[in-house]
Amino acid sequence: IAMARGYSVDESLNIAIGVAVAAIPEGLPSCITVTFAIGVNVMAGSNAIVKSLPAVETLGSVSVICSDKTGTLTENKMAVQRIVRLGAPEIDTTQHMSPTSSAEATVCLLPGLLCNDATLLVGADAAAKAPSKKTSNIRTPDATDIELAALPRDTISKTEFTVNGDPTERCILDLAVTLMGAPQATKQLLNANPRLAEIPFDSATKYMATLHALTPDLSQLANGDGKIVMVKGAPEAVLAFCYPSPTSPESTSEKASWLEKAEGLAGQGMRVLALAYRVVPASYVLGDALIPSAAERFQVSCLVGIIDPPRAAAITAVAVAQSAGIVVKMITGDHPVTAQAVGSVLGLKGTRRSAVTGAELDEVMLRSMDDFDRVVLLNDVFARTTPEHKLRIVESLRRQGFVCSMTGDGVNDAPA
């Protein structure tokens, strides 16, 4: 252009070089801005929101991914699938249930129904306060069955209700609504049996307890006057209150049977809860913690098997990460057998066939930190862990030179 306008060759070259030198720094900010905008838009399409560029660089260098299980690697869509009792057939809630089975299941679930922080909203409350409406998705009784025809089927299928709270507790309320025939009946039971005191769930003790007046509504579960303590939690934690040491051979055998049944449910990938209760005098005061005592034995109500299937996307993500040389470790508070079953579906590897428990980590740490680091390095599935265990695992990996990330949707994952 310069030569066409009459400039000499030397002048034209000088102009071209000057424009080239000036254009690069002048246009660089706008070029980078446009490039970043395009990149952010592409990442947002994959549900990745970038708030800090150094964080993206660090994520690109990650060599180990630690993840919680529930809600992260699994769908967090929990449903009670099995109710297990001693000396009685298991109740499969996915199958056809007779009125007798429904009534028995309702009684067994009472400790889990009352010892529960989830909230049931019915009718106008559900419509006004709930972010979304929910109806029971458990199988409605067959209309051709003469015995079941008397159940309020229309109420079950058409009445709208919402359950707010932790998914584990929500699924128990969901099942109770279906078993009792209507949300109003469940709500009435909850209102008639308010808690007088409670011991909140703690990830270290792995149980929750509530105190209630012993009302006529609970007569099918327990008889007597006064109050009743309901307990819900991990089988090994709850059974410690039901079979405190030392126990008789008969009690030892019963406890072993319960633990065997719990392991059977866990082996199918289910989260397992134990429900128990104890009748206490009217003057009883619930303290800050329960202490196993032969004089204050609890009665096991049932075991509850809760299914929470792994996410299909998580299975693919684990495979992609492993193919890129990134190690994936699952750290959960669930039963070891449950953790191992889910880990197998996800394709997690390790030197052991069973998950490493938090108690085992504590024992190894007492021996030496080198042994602890070795156990953390060689195993990919950890169970019955506390927030402190998760933090120690991440610290161990960083100490060994790995760039480690931690993901999870609970406050117990925050320290790690």
Tokens of 12: 């034209």
Q: Where are the beta strands (DSSP E) in 297-387?
A: 299-307, 327-331, 356-357, 381-383
Distances (CA, A) of 202 to 62, 238, 328, 412: 31, 13, 27, 10
Residue from 10, 68, 125, 174 carrying the catalytic annotation: 68
Distance CA 389, CA 397 (A): 12
Contact 264, 203 (CB under 8 A): no
DSSP per residue over 200-252, as a string?
A: ---TTT-EEEEEEE--GGGTTT--SSSEEEEEEE-HHHHHHHHSPSS--HHHH
Task: Identify residue 153 by its one-letter amino acid code.
Answer: R
Between strands 64-67 and 327-331, the pairing is parallel
142 is catalytic: no
Distances (CA, A) of 70 to 34, 47, 218, 314: 39, 20, 32, 12
Distances (CA, A) of 177 to 55, 72, 158, 168: 45, 27, 12, 15
Between strands 271-280 and 299-307, the pairing is antiparallel
Distance CA 228, CA 258 (A): 22
Tokens of 153: 């089927």
Dihedral over Cα of 309, 312, 317, 320: its sign = positive
Angle at 69 between CA 133 and CA 106, to 5 degrees: 50
Catalytic residues: 68
